[in-house]
Structure 1
Amino acid sequence: MPKPFNRQFEELLVTASGSAAAARPNAKTASTASAAASAAAPARPAPTAVTPPAHAAASPARSRNREDKDGPLFEDIRFLGRLLGDVVREQEGDAVFDVVETIRQSAVKFRREDDIDAAKKLDKMLKGLTPEQTVSVVRAFSYFSHLANIAEDRHHNRRRRIHALAGSAPQAGTVAYALARLAKSGGESLAALKTFFDTGLIVPVLTAHPTEVQRKSILDAQHDIARLLAERDQPLTARERAANEALLRARVTSLWQTRMLRDSRLTVADEIENALSYYRATFLDEIPALYADIEQALAEHGLPARLPPFLQMGSWIGGDRDGNPNVTAATLERAITCQAAVIFQHYLEQVHRLGAELSVSELLAGSSDALKQLADTSPDTSPHRVDEPYRRALIGVYARLAATARALLGDVAVSIRGEHRDAVPYASPDALRDDLQVLIDSLQARHGASLTAPRLSPLARAVEVFGFHLASIDLRQSSDVHEAVLTELFARAGVVDDYAALSEDNKLTLLLAELAQPRPLRLPYAEYSPLVHSELAVLEATRVIRQRFGERAVRNYIISHTETVSDLVEVMLLQKETGLMHGSMAATAPQAGNGRHATHAGQGAPRVSLMVIPLFETIADLRNASRIMEALLALPGMDSIVRHQGGEQEVMLGYSDSNKDGGFLTSNWELYRAELALVALFREHGVRLRLFHGRGGTVGRGGGPTYQAILSQPPGTVDGQIRLTEQGEVIASKFGNPEIGRRNLETVIAATLEATLQPHAQSPRALPQFEALMQTLSDAAMSAYRALVYETPGFTDYFFESTPIAEIAELNIGSRPASRKLQDPKHRRIEDLRAIPWGFSWGQCRLLLTGWYGFGSAISTYLDAAPDAVDREKRVALLHKMVKTWPFFSNLLSNMDMVLAKSDLAVASRYAQLVSDKKLRKQVFGRIVAEWHRTTDALAQITGHSSRLADNPLLARSIKNRFPYLDPLNHLQVELLRRHRAGTTNARLRRGIHLTINGIAAGLRNTG
Structure 2
Amino acid sequence: MTEEYLMMRNNINMLGRFLGETIQEAQGDDILELIENIRVLSRNSRSGDDKARAALLDTLSTISADNIIPVARAFSQFLNLTNVAEQYQTMSRSHEDKVSAERSTAALFARLKEQHVSQEEIIKTVQKLLIEIVLTAHPTEVTRRSLMHKQVEINKCLAQLDHTDLTAEEQKNIEYKLLRLIAEAWHTNEIRTNRPTPLEEAKWGFAVIENSLWEGLPAFIRKLNDAAVEHLNYALPVDLTPVRFSSWMGGDRDGNPFVTAKITREALQLARWKAADLFLTDIQELCDELSMTQCTAEFREKYGDHLEPYRVVVKDLRSKLKNTLDYYNDILAGRIPPFKQDEIISEDQQLWQPLYDCYQSLTACGMRIIANGLLLDTLRRVRCFGVTLLRLDIRQESTRHSDAIGEITRYIGLGDYSQWTEDDKQAFLIRELSSRRPLIPHNWTPSEHTREILDTCKVIAKQPEGVISCYIISMARTASDVLAVHLLLKEAGISYHLPVVPLFETLDDLDASKEVMTQLFNVGWYRGVIKNRQMIMIGYSDSAKDAGMMAASWAQYRAQDALVKLCEQTGIELTLFHGRGGTVGRGGAPAHAALLSQPPRSLKNGLRVTEQGEMIRFKLGLPAIAAESLDLYASAILEANLLPPPEPKASWCRVMDELAVASCEIYRNVVRGDKDFVPYFRSATPEQELAKLPLGSRPAKRNPNGGVESLRAIPWIFAWMQNRLMLPAWLGAGASIRQAMESGKAAVIEEMCNHWPFFNTRIGMLEMVFSKTDSWLSEYYDQRLVKKELWYLGESLRKQLSEDIATVLRLSGKGDQLMSDLPWVAESIALRNVYTDPLNLLQVELLRRLRADPEHPNPDIEQALMITITGIAAGMRNTG
TM bracket (short chain): over 0.9
Please give the residue correspondences for 1:263-412 in structure 2 after superposition, counting only pairs within 5 Å: 263-300=193-230, 301-306=232-237, 308-361=240-293, 366-376=294-304, 386-403=306-323, 410=330
Q: Is the 8 A contact 1:840 1:1007 kept in 2?
A: yes
State the alpha-carbon separation in 2 of the partners of residues 443 and 779 from structure 1: 64
Please tell me whether the aligned partners of residues 321 and 344 of structure 2 are also in contact (alpha carbons under 8 angstroms).
yes
Amino acid of the structure 2 residue aligned with 1:355: C
Report the AA paired with residue 846 of structure 1: R
- Structure 2 length as normaliser, TM-score? 0.95
Aligned residue in 2 for 1:149:
83
CA distance in 1, matches of 2:96, 2:613: 31
**Hey, what's the Cα distance between the residues in 1 that align with 2:411 and 2:798?**
57
* Kept after mapping to 2: 8 A contact 1:801/1:914: no
CA distance in 2, matches of 1:694, 1:837: 16
Q: Which amino acid aligns with 2:711?
A: L
Structure 1 position 173, deviation (Å): 3.1
Partner residue of 1:855 out of 724, 727, 733: 733
What is the CA distance between 1:545 and its match in structure 2?
2.1
The TM-score with structure 1 as length reference comes to: 0.83
1:680 Cα deviation from its structure 2 partner: 1.1
- The answer to whether structure 1 residue 93 and structure 2 residue 12 are counterparts is no
Change (3 A) 1:524 1:313: same
Match of 1:9 in 2: none
Deviations 1:105-159 (A, max 9, x none): 33344433272x5454333322321111111111111112111111111111114
**1:337 corresponds to which letter in structure 2?**
Q
1:176 aligns with 2:106: yes
- Conserved in 1, the CA contact under 8 Å of 2:670 and 2:677? yes
| Residue 520 of structure 2: aligned partner | 632
For 1:292 and 1:860, the matched residues in 2 are separated by 48
Return the match for 2:720 from 842, 846, 849: 842
Contact 1:707–1:747 (CA under 8 A) maintained in structure 2: yes
C-alpha distance in 2, partners of 1:815/1:196? Answer: 40
Q: Distance in 1 between matches of 2:322 and 2:632?
A: 36
Does structure 2 conserve the Cα–Cα contact (< 8 Å) formed by 1:175 and 1:746?
yes
Task: Check whether the contact 1:337–1:409 (CA below 8 A) recurs between aligned residues.
Answer: no
Residue 1001 (1) aligns with residue 879 (2): no
**Pairwise CA distance, 1:420:** 11
Q: 1:320 to 1:443 in 2, by over 3 A?
A: same
Q: Distance in 1 between matches of 2:845 and 2:607?
A: 45
Question: Cα distance, 1:448 vs. partner?
Answer: 0.8
Query: Corresponding residue for 2:851?
Result: 981
Contact 1:179–1:188 under 8 Å retained in 2: no
Q: Deviations over 1:307-346 (max 9, x none)?
A: 5213111111111110001111111111111111122122
Aligned to 2:628: 743
The corresponding residue for 2:553 is 668
Contact kept, 8 Å, 1:614 with 1:652, in 2: the verdict is yes
SS at match of 1:312: strand
Q: Do residues 904 (structure 1) and 774 (structure 2) align?
A: yes
2:710 aligned with 1:832, yes or no?
A: yes
SS in structure 1 at match of 2:140: coil
Matched, 1:205 2:205: no
Q: Is it true that 1:552 corresponds to 2:482 in the alignment? A: no
Pick closer, same or farther for the CA change 1:541–1:105 going to 2, 3 Å: same
Q: Would the aligned equivalents of 1:720 and 1:756 in 2 still touch at CA under 8 Å?
A: no
| Alpha-carbon contact 2:134-2:609 (below 8 Å) kept | yes
Work out the CA distance in 2 between the residues paired with 1:231 and 1:398: 33
Q: Amino acid of the residue matched to residue 266 of structure 2?
A: R
CA distance in 1, matches of 2:734, 2:361: 66
Match of 1:254 among 151, 176, 184: 184
User: How far did residue 357 of structure 1 move?
Assistant: 1.3
| Structure 1, 211-220 or 147-156: larger mean CA deviation | 211-220
- Where 2:578 maps in the other structure, the secondary structure is strand
Per-residue displacement from partner, 1:2-41 (whole Å, max 9, x unpaired)? xxxxxxxxxxxxxxxxxxxxxxxxxxxxxxxxxxxxxxxx
* Aligned partners of 2:140 and 2:870 also within 8 Å: no
Deviations, residues 615-657 of structure 1 (Å, cap 9, x unaligned): 00011111001111011111121221121xxx21010001000
What 5-or-longer segments of structure 1 have no aligned partner? Answer: 1-62, 378-385, 414-418, 583-607, 867-874
After superposition, what is the alpha-carbon deviation per residue over 1:365-389, rounded to whole angstroms, capped at 9, x for unaligned? x321232134329xxxxxxxx5222
Cα pair distance change 1:876/1:865, threshold 3 Å: closer
Corresponding residue pairs, total: 870
Within 2, Cα distance between the matches of 1:409 and 1:134? 43
Give the CA deviation at 1:285: 2.4
Q: Could you tell me how far 1:999 is from its partner in structure 2?
A: 0.9
Report SS of the residue matched to 1:261.
Answer: coil
Could you say which residue in structure 1 is the equivalent of 2:411? Answer: 492
Decide whether aligned partners of structure 1 residues 389 and 1007 sit closer, same or farther in structure 2, where only a CA change above 3 A counts.
same
For 2:346 and 2:138, locate their aligned partners in 1 and report how far apart those are by CA, in whole Å: 35
What is the aligned partner in structure 2 of residue 561 from structure 1? 475
Change (3 A) 1:95 1:742: same
Shift, 1:401, TM fit: 4.3
Written as runs of structure 1 = structure 2, the 5 A alignment for 1:406-425 is 410=330, 424-425=343-344
C-alpha contact 1:618 1:658 (8 A) present in aligned 2: yes
Q: Separation in 2 of the partners of 1:504 and 1:449? A: 61
CA offsets per residue over residues 190-240 of structure 1, 9 Å max, x none?
Answer: 1x2343244443200000021113222222222222222221112321112
Deviation of 1:296 (Å): 2.9
The amino acid of 1:72's aligned partner reads M
2: distance between equivalents of 1:99 and 1:409? Answer: 50
Q: Does the CA contact (< 8 Å) of 1:290 and 1:746 recur in 2?
A: yes
Contact 2:474-2:502 within 8 A present in 1 as well: yes
1:125 is aligned, of 41, 52, 59, to: 59
Residue of structure 1 in register with 2:402 after alignment: 483
CA distance in 1, matches of 2:199, 2:549: 34
Q: Matched residues in 2 for 1:222 and 1:673: separation?
A: 41
| Equivalent position of 2:684 in the other structure | 802
Matched residue, 1:779: 661
Q: How far, CA to CA, are the matches of 1:819 and 1:792 in structure 2?
A: 21
Aligned amino acid, residue 210 of structure 1: P
Identity %: 34
Check 1:484–1:74 CA distance in 2 against 1; reply closer, same or farther (3 A cut). same
Secondary structure of residue in 1 paired with 2:803:
helix
Distance 1:633 1:801, change over 3 A: same
Distance 2:329 2:413 in 1: 42
Offset at residue 994 of structure 1 (A): 1.1
Q: Which deviates further from its counterpart, 400-409 or 487-496? A: 400-409
CA distance in 2, matches of 1:201, 1:630: 26
Where 1:314 maps in the other structure, the secondary structure is strand
Q: Give the 3-state SS of the residue equivalent to 2:609 in structure 1.
A: strand
Letter matched to residue 498 of structure 2: L
Cα 1:394–1:126 shift into 2, 3 Å: closer
Answer yes or no: is the 8 Å Cα contact 1:539–1:578 preserved in 2.
yes
Structure 2 residue aligned with 1:763: 646
State the match for 1:949 in structure 2.
Answer: 819
| Residue of structure 2 aligned with 1:195, choices 124, 134, 145 | 124
Q: 1:387 to 1:109 in 2, by over 3 A?
A: closer
1:526 correspondence with 2:444: yes
Do the aligned partners of 1:371 and 1:393 also contact (CA within 8 Å) in 2? no
Whole-Å separation in 1 of the counterparts to 2:741 and 2:341: 79
Asked if the contact 2:434/2:525 (under 8 Å) is kept, the reply is no
The one-character-per-residue Cα deviations of 1:980-1000 (angstroms, maximum 9, x if unpaired) are 111162111111111110111
Deviations 1:263-301 (A, max 9, x none): 100001110111101111122222123223323322330
Could you tell me which residue of structure 2 aligns to residue 932 of structure 1?
A: 801
Change in Cα spacing, 1:130 to 1:618, as seen in structure 2 (3 Å) is same
Superposition deviation, residue 676 in structure 1: 0.7
Q: How does 1:601-640 map to 2 (within 5 A)?
A: 609-640=497-528
